[in-house]
Structure 1
């Protein structure tokens, strides 16, 4: 009986400890499910078919690409973005993680990027499940950035 009481006590302690830092208001504001997770859309940017040889035009499109990334992040739609740092056999160039309700919304958001519209990048879009807290890192990232694109 004593060992049963010990096991039951440990179970109750574990349950109360697991709830200790839980913040319902924060979870609700971020759209978290019971696991603290939510659905996003993972966008893989791949090298597109467009061969733009005009350096000024390509530079303008890439500036538009970076400006669009900033706008989508400011609007709370772009959660993560970054380039691939190594060549790879799939011609992957970078990724976006978008906070969109549907794949159609994610596709519309991707098409706001002038480099995608111009064919510099092609995209693959997949529904992805990750931490609902991902958007919170952007506030910290701004504090780490000395130079903005």
Structure 2
């Protein structure tokens, strides 16, 4: 009797631990490529200060415009999920990050190499596989609604 009580208690306790989410939406999860935890793999790209020293202000401005245009293109294509600059000086010369929706590290690198500021050497890159919420791409549709001025 004691072992039956123990087994029933264990089953009851397990059901609380492995409870299913009532709000779970299988169709949405599938459309976002989510695993059972609502997560998926991305690639984190860290933009670091590159070796190129471009002193021509017009050339540097043109390259940075190309950088912003490329960010917007990759976001529109659904490949760039998050991007932004560092707001503090980094001891590692980190300047910003991208989170890319890519299948492989090689694909992520090829996407980053479409950026003229990376190709020119203004930025060097570090790329790491990263695990985050599969819902990250959904925030982009709201970003335009709260953006008063575009770069």
Q: TM-score, normalised to structure 2's length?
A: 0.89
Partner of 2:56: 54
Partner of 1:135: 137
Q: Which runs of 4+ in 1 moved over 3 A?
A: 10-16
1:81-121: per-residue Cα shift (whole Å, max 9, x none)? 00000111100000000000000000100000000000000
Unaligned runs of 5+ in 1: none
Unaligned runs of 5+ in 2: none
| Distance (whole Å) between structure 2 residues aligned to residue 46 and residue 79 of structure 1 | 19
- CA positional deviation for 1:19: 2.3
Among 96, 99, 102, the residue aligned to 1:97: 99
| Distance (whole Å) between structure 2 residues aligned to residue 40 and residue 70 of structure 1 | 18
| Distance (whole Å) between structure 2 residues aligned to residue 35 and residue 42 of structure 1 | 20
SS in 1 for 2:127: strand
Partner of 2:125: 123
| Distance (whole Å) between structure 1 residues aligned to residue 16 and residue 54 of structure 2 | 63
Q: Is 1:23 the equivalent of 2:25?
A: yes
- CA positional deviation for 1:76: 0.2
Mapping 1:76-87, distance limit 5 Å: 76-87=78-89
Q: How many residues align?
A: 144
Cα-Cα RMSD: 1.7
| Distance (whole Å) between structure 2 residues aligned to residue 104 and residue 125 of structure 1 | 10
| Distance (whole Å) between structure 1 residues aligned to residue 23 and residue 29 of structure 2 | 11
SS in 1 for 2:137: helix
Q: TM-score, normalised to structure 1's length?
A: 0.90
- CA positional deviation for 1:15: 5.7
| Distance (whole Å) between structure 2 residues aligned to residue 91 and residue 14 of structure 1 | 44
